[in-house]
Amino acid sequence: MKNCNLKAQFGSGLQTHIEGILFSTDTESEAPADDTESDGVALVSFRELVPEINDTGYLTHAIFAYPAKFIPQVVRYAINTYTKEGDWIIDPFAGSGTVGVEAYLCKRNAVLLDLNLLLNHIMPLKIYNGKDRLDEADLCKLLDDMRESRHPFIPAWSNVAYWYAPEILEVLSRYWGFINNMDGGVYPTIIKSALLKVNRRFSYTEDRTPKLARSKRKLEAIAELLKENWREQLDEMVYSLSLKTLKNLNDFVMHTQHQCEHLGTVEFHGGVDSSYHSVPRACDALITSPPYLQAQEYIRSTKMDLFWLGHTEEEIRELSRLEIPYRKADRLIQTETLDKIRKMLTRDDLQKRLDSYFCHTVNALENSMNQLGPGATACIFVGNPRIDGITVELWRILVEYFTERGFVFEKVYEDRIKTRKLFGARKNKNPDGMKSEFLLILKKSTTYQTSSRQYESVLQDKEHPVRVPRKSPDSDAS
Ligand SMILES: C[S@@+](CC[C@H](N)C(=O)[O-])C[C@H]1O[C@@H](n2cnc3c(N)ncnc32)[C@H](O)[C@@H]1O
């Protein structure tokens, strides 16, 4: 019978061996800091501005993989600079909940919204609020029981057999059957987080591309693995990842335990379309990073996880249809810079994507920003994507839009980084190997009157019954 001595039996070399077979590793590095400022643009390195965080995956940040995550230093900087203890922060594109974790640790409160249902599975672990250290022996007992389980869980995924070798699928189904049958609790949730990584690693999909992609390389790697002691290797990975997460949680408990007074409250709502969802409460700051303009499909990238977590094809299809920028625009966002880009675009499909992107991104931001009080700050982290070879200065377009609607442009920080991980090996390539990301700071004018804004039904169909704040009657937005 396997137990937690697996790690001791096989040693840490085994993990490296699996990694060597299944994927290559890559690194991320950043440019040196420079605080020169021109035209309201301050060149910075957030990693250097926040030296107290020296590991982007510290505490619970690295428990789940997610495409285009915030580095926690950006969020911490925004929290330290633009909020105070007890404030409420809204993030309408919360993804894997980086804002929630940082808010919690800094004694701020947060409302997290995201279209992706993963958020609901991620947050209970990432902001684990147990007061006592978790016991390795309890976790190992559960892992041992899971290995003996005979009740399979088959995900509601018609293609599941296409992604796995039959013998691997059989084992994974039994492990998930055991875990999905338990009534929650922290230990099963720890194991789920490990199984999600194992699912991907032992499937035919490339580990480091965001979307599912069955590759020849991976088929060969799995075929090789099946000739070896694959079952031990799979178990070793489940055990070691589970134990690593348990350690992360215990570090989190230690870190938060001595702060006996109230930390933060974090509300999270996965499966929410922020473009048509009115934010449930008044907030003191917005900190967010909107989706990429260029084809980062978060639902498709994480659908393997969602299936194993018990979501259905229909649910996932429905959510994919709402993803930005793959849906129709229902209004045209107009600003000086955006209009120029629109005129330069010759391809119809790209024009539609641009219009969809700005319509729904601005809708979501505006729904949240309407809930900010006078004097509150919006911190929006964006890149400068290119569309048909044209650079889209996102931060400038947002400045143009929101300064016409009661916000004041405060500044924009430019962080130059060498490569940015999306899911892993896929890097954003640009000629000089450098890429800039921008943290835009807008302040709500103290004379801003939310109540003067007009409320209108956004869509007449029953799919989107929520009424959201829209532009004031004298606005020129569309
Ligand atoms: C750049 S990611 C955010 C990552 C996040 N900052 C983190 O640290 O994990 C953008 C997010 O926008 C979400 N998104 C896309 N379309 C959406 C929509 N219509 N409503 C709400 N969220 C949406 C995606 O699911 C994705 O998680």
pLDDT of residue 321 exceeding 60, the answer is yes
CA–centroid distance, residue 113 to ligand 1 (Å):
8
Residue environment code for 234-270, b if the CB has 16+ CB neighbours within 10 A, otherwise e: bbbbbbbbbbebbebbbebbeebeeeeeebbebebbb
As given in the structure block, the two tokens for residue 449 are 């009157």
pLDDT of residue 68 exceeding 70, the answer is yes
pLDDT of residue 233 exceeding 60, the answer is yes
pLDDT in tens, 256-277: 877 656 678 999 999 999 999 8
Q: Do both 340 and 411 map to the same domain?
A: yes
Q: What is the pLDDT of residue 426?
A: 45
Residue 98 lies in a domain: yes
Contact 97, 117 (CB under 8 A): no
Of 227, 257, 287, the last residue of a domain is 257
Q: What is the pLDDT of residue 278?
A: 85
Q: Do both 16 and 89 map to the same domain?
A: no
Q: Please give the Cα distance from 159 to 205 (Å, whole number).
A: 13
Residue 204 lies in a domain: yes
pLDDT of residue 466 exceeding 70, the answer is no
Q: Where are the alpha helices (DSSP H) in 347-430?
A: 348-369, 394-403
Q: Do both 358 and 424 map to the same domain?
A: yes
Residue 478 lies in a domain: no
Q: Provide the number of structural domains found in the chain.
A: 2
CA–centroid distance, residue 274 to ligand 1 (Å):
9
Of 114, 269, 380, which is best to mutate to test ligand 1, by the most ligand atoms within 8 angstroms of its C-beta? 114
Q: Is 69 in the pocket of ligand 1 (CB under 6 A)?
A: yes
pLDDT of residue 66 exceeding 50, the answer is yes
Q: Do both 344 and 250 map to the same domain?
A: no
Q: Is 70 in the pocket of ligand 1 (CB under 6 A)?
A: yes
Ranked by mean pLDDT, the top range of 19-28, 39-48, 106-115, 462-471 is 106-115
Q: Do both 73 and 95 map to the same domain?
A: yes
Reported as a pLDDT band with limits 50, 70 and 90, residue 463 is: very low
CA–centroid distance, residue 71 to ligand 1 (Å):
15
Residue 43 lies in a domain: yes
List Cβ neighbours of 448 (8 Å cut-off, separation of 6 or more): 374, 406, 407
Which of these ranges, 146-155, 382-391, 439-448, 469-478, has the smallest mean pLDDT?
A: 469-478
Residue 435 lies in a domain: yes
Q: Do both 358 and 446 map to the same domain?
A: yes
pLDDT of residue 405 exceeding 80, the answer is yes
Q: What is the pLDDT of residue 184?
A: 83
Q: Which class for 82: exposed (0-12), middle (13-18), buried (19 or more C-beta within 10 A)?
A: buried
As given in the structure block, the two tokens for residue 117 are 């249902």
Contact 214, 163 (CB under 8 A): yes
Q: Do both 191 and 79 map to the same domain?
A: no
Q: Please give the Cα distance from 452 to 367 (Å, whole number).
A: 15
SS (H, E, C) 417-466: ECCCECCCCCECCCCCCCEEEEEEEEEECCCCCHHHCCEEECCCCCCCCC
Q: Helices 336-344 & 348-369, crossing angle to 10 degrees?
A: 160
Q: Is 68 in the pocket of ligand 1 (CB under 6 A)?
A: yes
CA–centroid distance, residue 68 to ligand 1 (Å):
9
Q: Of all residues in the chain, what percent carry a pLDDT higher than 70?
A: 81
pLDDT of residue 464 exceeding 50, the answer is no
Q: Which CATH number does the domain housing residue 359 bear?
A: 3.40.50.150
Q: Please give the Cα distance from 142 to 179 (Å, whole number).
A: 9
Residue 477 lies in a domain: no
Residue 70 DSSP label: P
Which of 58, 85, 72 has the alpha carbon at shortest distance from 263? 85
CA–centroid distance, residue 272 to ligand 1 (Å):
10
Q: What is the pLDDT of residue 104?
A: 95
Q: Do both 101 and 203 map to the same domain?
A: no
Q: Please give the Cα distance from 210 to 298 (Å, whole number).
A: 8
As given in the structure block, the two tokens for residue 314 are 């229909």
What torsion do the CA atoms of 144, 147, 150, 152 make, to the nearest 10 degrees? 120
Q: Is 93 in the pocket of ligand 1 (CB under 6 A)?
A: yes
Residue 321 lies in a domain: no
List Cβ neighbours of 29 (8 Å cut-off, separation of 6 or more): 417, 418, 419
pLDDT in tens, 362-375: 999 999 999 999 99
Q: Do both 277 and 419 map to the same domain?
A: yes
pLDDT of residue 4 exceeding 60, the answer is no
Enclosing domain of residue 349: 37-120+265-297+328-469
Atom number in ligand 1 closest to CA 113: 21
Q: Please give the Cα distance from 358 to 364 (Å, whole number).
A: 10
Of 194, 229, 257, the last residue of a domain is 257
Q: Is 116 in the pocket of ligand 1 (CB under 6 A)?
A: yes
pLDDT of residue 334 exceeding 60, the answer is yes
- Count CB neighbours of 55 within 10 A: 9
Which of 155, 233, 162 has the alpha carbon at shortest distance from 198? 233
User: Measuring CA to CA, how many Å separate 88 from each of 50, 111, 243, 384?
Assistant: 21, 7, 33, 28
Q: Do both 94 and 177 map to the same domain?
A: no
pLDDT in tens, 82-130: 999 999 999 999 999 999 999 999 999 999 999 999 999 999 999 998 8
CA–centroid distance, residue 281 to ligand 1 (Å):
20
User: Which residue's alpha carbon is at the smallest distance from atom 27 of ligand 1?
Assistant: 95
Residue 474 lies in a domain: no
Q: Please give the Cα distance from 17 to 9 (Å, whole number).
A: 14
Q: Do both 60 and 206 map to the same domain?
A: no
pLDDT of residue 457 exceeding 50, the answer is no
Look up residue 43 and give its amino acid. Answer: L
Of 201, 229, 257, the last residue of a domain is 257
Q: Do both 284 and 384 map to the same domain?
A: yes
Q: Please give the Cα distance from 106 to 280 (Å, whole number).
A: 22
Q: What is the largest CA-CA distance in the chain?
A: 72
* Overall average pLDDT of the 241-269 stretch: 89
